[in-house]
């Protein structure tokens, strides 16, 4: 199940489950959309692209599949980006869209 992390890994901005500016890579690395722009839509941990994080319903519409049953994570992952290393990664990925990485 998708881990709904509580904040942006780079700037620590709170990203509650209803945040519409939370972005994730395929490994669930979680960043705010501002940081994703700065990162050139490239995850500093895996080199993959980002997509908007889906919103988990707060209401039990069906079969206990909602936040009350499966709450968001409270474990903060705060690992500010090493921008120099990221520039090197961006150079290697230059011009390669996420679906071809």
Question: Is 17:4 a contact under the CB 8 Å cutoff?
Answer: yes
Kindly identify the residues of this chain, within the stretch 33-92, that bind Zn ion according to CB under 5 A. Answer: 35, 43, 45-46
State the nearest-atom distance from the C-beta of 47 to Zn ion, in Å. Answer: 7
Which secondary-structure segment (H or E) carries 36? Answer: helix 33-38
Nearest to 9 by CA among 46, 60, 62, 56: 46
User: Which of 32-40, 52-60, 71-79, 86-94 is the region at the interface with Zn ion (rule: CB under 5 A)?
Assistant: 32-40
Residue 8 contacts Zn ion per CB under 5 A: yes
State the nearest-atom distance from the C-beta of 66 to Zn ion, in Å. Answer: 27
Number of H helices and E strands in the chain, helices first, is 2, 3
Instruction: Write out the residues near Zn ion by the rule CB under 5 A.
Output: 8, 10-11, 13, 25, 27, 29, 32, 35, 43, 45-46
């Amino acid at each position: 199940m998708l881990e709904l992390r509580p904040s942006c890994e780079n700037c620590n901005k709170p990203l509650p489950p209803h945040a519409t500016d939370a972005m994730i890579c395929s490994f669930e690395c979680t960043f705010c959309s501002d940081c994703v722009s700065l990162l050139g839509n490239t995850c500093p941990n895996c080199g993959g692209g980002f997509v908007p994080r889906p919103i988990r319903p707060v209401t039990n519409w069906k079969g206990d599949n909602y936040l009350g049953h499966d709450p968001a994570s409270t474990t903060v992952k705060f690992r500010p980006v090493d921008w120099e290393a990221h520039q090197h990664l961006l150079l290697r990925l230059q011009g390669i869209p996420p679906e071809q990485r």
